[in-house]
Amino acid sequence: MKLSEPLENYLKEIYELEESKGRAKVVDLISSFNISPGTISKALFRLEQMGMIDRGEGGMRLTEDGRRVAERLVRAHRLSERLLTDVLGVDWVRSHELAHRLEHIWPEDVLDRIDEVLGRPRTCPHGHPISGRAKMNGELLANAVTGPYRVSAILKEEEWILRGADKLGLRPESAISVKREGDLIYLMQEGRDILVPTELAKQILVRAERDERA
């Protein structure tokens, strides 16, 4: 059976949930796609029948076939984002939205060519690994202490998160200076302390500069 675009989207989301949380749950999919439990239940039943996922009490996981499809989609999505931002100059919010459509249409040989032309990038513009060339490591900005850090990745690529991060200069590989006061996180920029909204700080992965290796 041929996978429809919505079913491919579910596989990709399961993959990314496994990547970020270690496992995927039905409630996560309902939240991500803003759909009814009945709709997701039917979709998961189809994916299970097609041998793309295994389901259990703790959630679901991709089978070997499901992972192969999901990895192709994720690679296509992240390379599309790189193409749009690095070559065409599209902003990183719109590039993420457009990549959702492009990921379904690129043939494998075209993807290989895009990868080559881009110089085989390690991550997408938001810091997520491409083809296992990098790892998302570090800690949440919300948990950081006072000191110098470097941004590793933006966890959830939602518009409000990307726009908020961009406004504060929280792009991957950007050097930042953090000041912590109780539960509040500030960025020290040009002599000013700029408050980072708590919910935004929970979506930014950073690594301490003192842990950097030359």
Position 212 pLDDT exceeds 80: no
**Model pLDDT, residue 170:** 97
8 A C-beta contact, residue 79 and residue 72: no
Distance CA 122, CA 119 (A): 9
**Model pLDDT, residue 114:** 97
Distance CA 18, CA 60 (A): 9
Distance CA 77, CA 40 (A): 22
| pLDDT level of residue 1 (50, 70, 90 thresholds) | low
**Model pLDDT, residue 57:** 80
Strand partners, 193: 188
Those residues whose C-beta lies under 8 Å from the C-beta of residue 85, and which sit 6 or more positions away, are: 91, 92, 95, 125
What is the mean predicted confidence (pLDDT) over 84-110?
Answer: 96
Strand partners, 154: 204
The four Cα atoms 105, 18, 62, 66 give a dihedral, to 10 degrees, of 10
CATH 1.10.10.10 for domain 5-62, yes or no, is yes
| pLDDT level of residue 213 (50, 70, 90 thresholds) | very low
8 A C-beta contact, residue 100 and residue 93: no
Q: What are the pLDDT digits (tens) for 52-90?
A: 999 988 789 999 999 999 999 999 999 999 999 999 999
Q: What are the pLDDT digits (tens) for 14-45?
A: 998 888 788 899 999 998 888 899 999 999 99
Position 93 pLDDT exceeds 70: yes
Strands (E), 1-146: 53-56, 59-62, 139-140
Distance CA 43, CA 54 (A): 13
Helix axes 92-102, 159-167, angle to 10 degrees: 150
Distance CA 136, CA 179 (A): 23
Q: What are the pLDDT digits (tens) for 120-131?
A: 999 999 999 998
Q: What is the fold, at CATH topology level, of the domain defined by 139-208?
A: SH3 type barrels. (2.30.30)
Position 210 pLDDT exceeds 90: no
8 A C-beta contact, residue 85 and residue 121: no
**What are the domain boundaries of the chain?**
5-62, 139-208
Task: Return mean pLDDT, the chain.
Answer: 93
Q: What are the pLDDT digits (tens) for 174-192?
A: 999 999 999 999 999 988 9
Distance CA 6, CA 1 (A): 14
